[in-house]
Chains A and B, each alone.
Chain A
């Protein structure tokens, strides 16, 4: 039930210390969109499990259409599994174009828009995505490199976020780092 025990080793994703430190990395990522933040080291998980352990439990729903989270971890999280159209959290493989319509929230409850955790190959380098970001959390402009993100994601994100305050918030992650793209971030460059 994702109930962290203080007896867990501090480098376990299920420990309170890991979750506190990883949350601070996520909070910095959302505060400064496009800037890479390192997740703390952990001994017993990789990929999206590291973020799901921080944010998900039995109070939220999660869709994992590409099955990126190990089934034992899904049980440990205690999350309610849901279809992608109404899940609060969606985990997805960035190399594949999205084929779903996520929840966008509504005028009175825009926070019901989904958080999408997207696994990419690398946030260190880029083949064809020198992206330029602007918006809250960015002083002037912020460059973002990402490798292994199907370009359809950016087109779909633009469409999903066209009616602020409704929209979706993205967390891109590679093996060790995260980058957040809240719905307020405007993206140009790349192939857009």
Chain B
């Protein structure tokens, strides 16, 4: 936290959100343009925040520009509500937005700020997902000039990016990008969907909720509106594959905690040198565990 940081003074109960009203208004204008041009990295004047850029300031600025006393906020990092980053961001929101409720439940949240995961439970129309983005531009790997990249994006010209992916395929017999898989939105712009696993990319497609992406350091905001196509860049003869959690003998791994076989699993290294697998989405894992225990109790 910035040592100069003080809570905003206010005469009544509504002096909140940390950002001043001009900063909020600019982000609000940019959000509407980002929704209107799906996948376009809309520039904005990212403000200084009392934490370093790279700690989710882009996602946080999205959240603070829209949050109000009617909202219930959930903050997750790699699927977890309890990680240090998620706890710090949630505390910051509680400090600066005193009337807002916070929750760890995906279904109770109206706003969800996240780093590196999309929740397992499909979102609803009345929810908004704000993703924290470190590197917004998928064309960086093929074109160093931002001015040229902007033209390529505008023209929907991703030939060089596809060539790069193809070289990868020839060399490794598989597209090796595990996270930040380039994804085409509404048939035009290709986005970096932030470091979510490939497993989460299908969840961006025709989502019922608005998905917003905030890159604080790079000063860009982009959107995948609800009911919008989000298609990973692929070649006709090579299907897009998500991470599979199969054992050597072909069994789908289950979460060692809740037993789920339909969630994204984190690999854990235990003290005794063995490995364990657990849902990365802690809310989902807790729900499955509660359901299992309730089922056992009634038997």
Contacts and interface: CB of A to CB of B under 8 A. Distances in A.
Interface of A: 2-4, 6-7, 10, 15-17, 19-21, 23-24, 26-27, 30-32, 54-57, 59-60, 106-111, 115, 136-139, 164-165, 169, 180, 182-184
Given A4-B21, A31-B225, A107-B155, A55 B28 contact: yes
A153 B12 CA distance: 44
B7 to A, nearest CB: 13
A11 B38 CA distance: 33
Given A24-B66, A27-B210, A111-B42, A137 B28 contact: no
Given A17-B14, A107-B155, A27 B66 contact: yes
Decide if the interface of chain A is mainly helix, strand, loop or mixed: loop
Nearest to B34: A111
B97 to A, nearest CB: 10
Nearest to A107: B154
A19 B38 CA distance: 24
Interface centre among A15, A17, A183 (most CB of B within 10 A): A17
Given A4-B21, A30-B36, A108-B150, 8 more contacts: A7-B12, A15-B14, A107-B151, A108-B154, A111-B33, A165-B154, A169-B32, A182-B35
Interface string B217-229: 0000000011110
A110 B154 contact: yes
23 contacts: A3-B22, A26-B28, A30-B32, A32-B125, A56-B25, A57-B22, A59-B25, A106-B154, A107-B151, A107-B154, A136-B38, A136-B186, A137-B35, A137-B226, A138-B227, A139-B226, A139-B227, A165-B37, A165-B40, A165-B188, A169-B33, A182-B35, A182-B36
Contacts of B30: 111
B14 to A, nearest CB: 5
Contacts of B22: 3, 57, 59
B247 interface: no
Contact of B32 (A20, A27, A165): A27
Q: Which 10 residue pairs spanning A and B have beta carbons closest together?
A: A107-B154, A182-B36, A108-B150, A136-B228, A111-B33, A20-B68, A30-B35, A6-B15, A169-B36, A136-B225
Contacts of A137: 35, 225-228
Interface in B183-197: 186, 188-189
B29 interface: yes
Nearest to B154: A107
Interface of B: 10-12, 14-15, 17, 21-22, 24-26, 28-38, 40, 42-43, 65-70, 125, 128, 147, 150-151, 154-155, 186, 188-189, 210, 225-228
Decide if the interface of chain B is mainly helix, strand, loop or mixed: mixed
Contacts of A108: 147, 150-151, 154
Contact of A3 (B21, B37, B70, B155): B21
Interface centre among B26, B33, B65 (most CB of A within 10 A): B33
Contacts of A24: 66, 68
Nearest to B228: A136
Contacts of B26: 59
Contact of B25 (A17, A57, A180): A57
Contacts, number: 123
A101 to B, nearest CB: 19
A106 B69 CA distance: 38
Given A59-B22, A60-B29, A111-B42, A6 B11 contact: yes
Contact of A10 (B14, B25, B186): B14
B146 to A, nearest CB: 9
Contact of A31 (B15, B17, B68, B226): B226
Interface centre among A20, A59, A108, A164 (most CB of B within 10 A): A20
A7 B12 CA distance: 7
Contact of A183 (B28, B37, B43): B37
Nearest to A35: B125
A184 B187 CA distance: 11
A78 to B, nearest CB: 10
A104 to B, nearest CB: 12
Contacts of A139: 226-227
A31 B210 contact: yes
Contacts of B227: 136-139
A183 to B, nearest CB: 6
A54 B25 CA distance: 7
B127 to A, nearest CB: 11
A182 B17 CA distance: 28
